[in-house]
Amino acid sequence: MLKVTDSSIKEDTETTLNWPEYLAIRKSKRVWTTVATVPCALLGFAGGVVYFGTQEADPLKPIMGIDPFFFYGLCTMGCVGVGAIVGPTLGSALWRAKNKTIIRAFDGKDAEFYNRVARGRVDASLQSPTQPVPDYYGEKIGSLHQYRQWLRDQAKYRRKALLPEEL
């Protein structure tokens, strides 16, 4: 019989991740969410085609002022959009189910990462339509090198936005 002790439970819950491990896990989660988007969008398209393709359409009776064929086509594209929105949620849920052992440590490091991003990023009120803040949420950060580069880019943008141009 397997005996569970308090020390073994503490070891599982106190698993800590270093930054390279965290960023690698974050990348795998992003891959799962991206990969799940494609089949969900295709299923949405197939469902839209099956449902709206079987609807009878009288070309002389517009639906909400739109030709029925265009309306059903737009509804089918709407189904694709819904599938594309559901895909990342499903991919994230599948990823979390597969990686149950590291979820607590990952969530803790994730919160710490986003706190660091929030401290390091430029104030959004400094941006203009022609010069948006680069990678405001830090989505492109995949390694420590990229994080340092992101910090440099934020500092460069901050200097450029706050200091007047020299003529």
Question: What is the per-residue pLDDT across 40-66, written as a single tens digit (0 to 9) for each?
Answer: 999 999 999 999 888 887 777 888 888
Supply angle C-alpha 115, 15, 96, rounded to 5.
75
Residue-averaged pLDDT of the chain: 86
pTM of the full predicted structure?
A: 0.73
Tell whether the model's pLDDT for residue 156 goes beyond 50: yes
Report yes or no: 106 and 23 within 8 Å, Cβ to Cβ. Answer: no
Which pLDDT belongs to residue 162? 81
